[in-house]
Amino acid sequence: MKILDIAFKDILRSTRSLFAVGMMLVVPLEYTGATFSAIGHLMPSAWAMDGFQNIIVRGLSIQAVWQPVGILLLYAAAFFGLAVWRFRYD
Domain locations in the chain? Answer: 2-88
Three-state secondary structure call for residue 66: helix
Four-point Cα dihedral 35, 2, 54, 70, nearest 10: 90
- Looking at residue 45, its pLDDT comes to 87
Note the pTM of the prediction, 2 decimals: 0.64
Using one digit for the tens of pLDDT, what is the confidence trace for 35-84?
A: 888 888 888 988 999 999 989 988 888 899 999 999 999 999 999 999 99
Using one digit for the tens of pLDDT, what is the confidence trace for 32-49?
A: 888 888 888 888 988 999
44, with CB counted inside 10 A (0-12, 13-18, 19+), is buried
